[in-house]
Amino acid sequence: MIDRLEAIVQRYRKIQEELARPEVVSDHQKLAALGRELRSLEPLVDTYGHYREAQDELAEAREMLRGEKDPQMQEYLRGEEHGAEQKLVDLEEDLKVLLLPKDPNDDRDVIVEIQGAEGGQEAALFAADLFRMYSRWADAKRWRVEIVDVQENGIGGYDRMSFEVHGAGAYSQLKYEGGVHRVQRVPVTESQGRVHTSAATVAVMPEADPVEIELPEKDLKIETSTSTGPGGQSVNTTYSAIRITHLPTGMVVSIQDEKSQLKNKEKALRVLRTRLYERKLAEQQAAQSAARQSMVKSGNRSEKIRTYNFKDNRVTDHRIDLTLHKLDRIMEGDLDELVTALASAERQRLLESDGSHEA
């Protein structure tokens, strides 16, 4: 473990040196990539620094204890020795967690896509509720939310909502939200007060840097049109809506959120780049649930990751069998307890896996 930690410290120092070089400062893509790597290493380097300090404290206490004759001073030094030993044990456990395989995308910004699935208009209304929930959570964390594209259903719901979240560690927490979310409640469209069950799908994709996914012009078919709203009515008369087809894969992205054609094109390219990056990750890690296909599957309620029961003010995350009776607070963006529990379960799984490999 110590050899790995020393190598990480060396890498950390090398990155600091690289970040000071003029050619790196002028290269925004490389600067961003190195900055991400530096931030990801900081907790480990800081903890290892505390670990080395505790080692020095323990060695000093033991050295003084060997030469001390005064019984009272010996008792004091034994306390110092015990404290340093316990600190070392605690820091070693922290280091084991920090050394676990880290998702290289954790520090990236994300694109989130929410779609109403099973349940018609109520599913679209729930999709809008989920977007508000994530927006409030992002606000509390000082993350910036930017709408990419939205398809409204005319009664306040979203058939589809795509948005970007910009902020340190956004993907590391939002990635647990990918999957099918089931809701049980009396819809506003229900006249007889019956509880309905509906579902919305959430896909969370790490945003790719342009340098990672190149999009040569020859691979793109770019079309423009006037923006349209619910029912097909014209939103504006300028050709601001953008539709980009990636010819090698057939992937299509349509954006009409902005009145500016240039801004819509920039957003469409970011979404396309991110979807291609996620496809690349899925191909590399086909067995992992990070792939969008395994996140949302068909949108059927039986594939749910979480249930929101409004009548009982209850939320259940089925992946870790956790139930919280605070749905009202969660819908206001208080997601930290849920996400912390999911991250903790993932760390425990990795620790157990790491231990079995060592055995």
- The CATH number of whichever domain residue 257 belongs to comes to 3.30.160.20
pLDDT of the residue at 295: 40
User: Residue 219's CB: how many other CB atoms inside 10 A?
Assistant: 12
| 47 and 74 co-located in one domain | yes
Q: Domain holding 68: CATH number?
A: 1.20.58
- Is there a single domain that holds both residue 334 and residue 270? no
Residue 173, pLDDT score:
93
**Single residue among 68, 98, 128 that ends a domain in this structure:** 98
* CATH number of the domain within which 334 lies: 3.30.70.1660
Please report whether residue 212 resides in a domain: no
Contact of 61 with 76, CB cutoff 8 Å: no
Do 201 and 297 share a structural domain?
yes
138's tokens: 């992002």
Contacts 24+ apart (CB under 8 A), 233-239: none
Cβ partners under 8 Å of residue 237, min gap 6: 226
Per-residue confidence in pLDDT tens, the chain, 359 aa? 888 899 999 999 999 999 989 988 888 878 888 888 898 899 999 999 999 999 998 998 888 988 888 888 889 888 989 998 999 999 988 888 888 877 878 888 999 999 988 888 889 999 999 999 999 999 999 999 998 888 888 788 899 899 999 998 899 999 999 999 999 998 776 767 788 899 999 999 988 776 678 888 899 999 887 666 544 444 545 567 889 999 999 999 888 877 788 888 888 888 888 888 888 877 765 644 443 444 444 444 446 899 999 999 999 999 999 999 999 999 999 999 999 999 988 888 888 776 554 54
- Same domain membership, residue 198 and residue 302: yes
* Residue-level pLDDT at 288: 42
Residue 332: both structure tokens together: 């206001």
Q: Which helix (H) or strand (E) holds 336?
A: helix 336-358
Identify whether 342 is part of a domain: yes
Length of the chain equals: 359
Q: Is residue 129, in this structure, part of any structural domain at all?
A: yes
Pair (247, 202) in one structural domain: no
Amino acid of residue 303: E
* Domain end call among 260, 284, 308: 284
Residues 198 and 297 in one domain: yes
- Is residue 61 assigned to a domain? yes
Task: Look up residue 339 and give its two tokens.
Answer: 């996400």
Claim to verify: residue 162 and residue 278 sit in the same structural domain: no
The strand pair at 251-255 and 220-225 is best described as unpaired
Structural domains counted in the chain: 3
pTM beyond 0.75, yes or no: no
Q: Are residues 134 and 181 in the same domain?
A: yes
Of 284, 301, 334, the domain-final residue: 284
Residues 92 and 121 in one domain: no
Whether 161 and 298 map to the same domain: the answer is: yes
Judgement on whether residues 272 and 336 belong to the same structural domain of the protein: no
Regarding whether 93 and 152 lie in a shared domain, the answer is: no
Print the domain residue range for 226: 217-284
The string of DSSP letters for 306-342 reads EEEETTTTEEEETTTTEEES-HHHHHTT--HHHHHHH
Q: Is residue 189 part of a domain?
A: yes
Number of helices (H), then strands (E), in the chain: 10, 11
